[in-house]
Copies of this chain bind each other. A is one copy, B any other.
């Protein structure tokens, strides 16, 4: 195991649920002996990847991660183009918009567009959630082959909220529905009372894929309003697919005929 692997193992212990860790936390989470933890933590601190609160002595991501994080896809065409369109939809509908990328079977929020409707933002940028339990996450998964999906989902299927697919078969059924209808919807999954609709966008040039969703309160919206969101999203998807040269049709054909 290389020094870098060990370092990453420590860095991956941090999350929004655990934004800072004590020496003992890191030891417990990595299962490494004290001396190794000590050395590694010191290296990470010295190089700026971690910093240490001088008062509580706890460790947290450092200045270097802040700097690099600001650089991440700072001028990514696909994302900024999608963000621009999403802003307009959110301004018209008043709902909250999200842009996320897929990482394994999880997604990470990249951008958020707060709506005018009062709905607490619970998923700030950087937030990591199972893609299986969100509308845009499933929309992204739906564009992968079943084999690829199987490779991403952990051997023991994760415990998800009530309304999310509870096993691999249910997931595939749900993804097939998205592939057929082109619509991905979620309600009362990750967060009680919150629903969303989303789609996946893939650049024809770079092949990178992002998931775009609009999120709203289930109680505070009518079926007509949700249908309006569906129309808005369909129009936005069509426009963005044209602009980015999304190879959707070829993809769908390949998946349906089982090629590749």
Contacts and interface: CB of A to CB of B under 8 A. Distances in A.
A67 B126 contact: yes
Contact of A126 (B70, B75, B101): B70
Interface residues of A, number: 50
Contacts of A110: 66
Given A3-B4, A60-B75, A69 B19 contact: no
A68 B65 contact: yes
A117 B25 CA distance: 47
A128 interface: yes
A48 interface: yes
Contacts of A11: 64, 68
A49 interface: yes
Given A54-B207, A71-B126, A12 B64 contact: yes
Interface in A34-69: 43-44, 47-49, 51, 53-55, 60-69
A84 to B, nearest CB: 19
A103 interface: yes
A67 B64 CA distance: 12
Contact of A5 (B8, B47, B68): B47
A66 B75 CA distance: 12
A101 B3 CA distance: 29
Interface string A181-224: 00000000000000000000000011110000000000000000
A124 interface: yes
Contact of A49 (B2, B8, B55, B67): B8
A72 interface: yes
A60 B74 contact: yes
Given A60-B74, A72-B69, A55 B205 contact: yes
Interface in A96-132: 101, 103, 108, 110, 124-126, 128
Interface of A: 2-5, 7-8, 11-12, 14-16, 19-20, 43-44, 47-49, 51, 53-55, 60-75, 101, 103, 108, 110, 124-126, 128, 205-208
Given A3-B4, A11-B64, 6 more contacts: A4-B43, A14-B68, A14-B71, A20-B74, A55-B206, A65-B72
5 contacts: A3-B3, A4-B4, A66-B73, A66-B108, A69-B126
The 4 A-B pairs of least Cβ separation, nearest first, read A69-B69, A70-B126, A65-B68, A19-B74
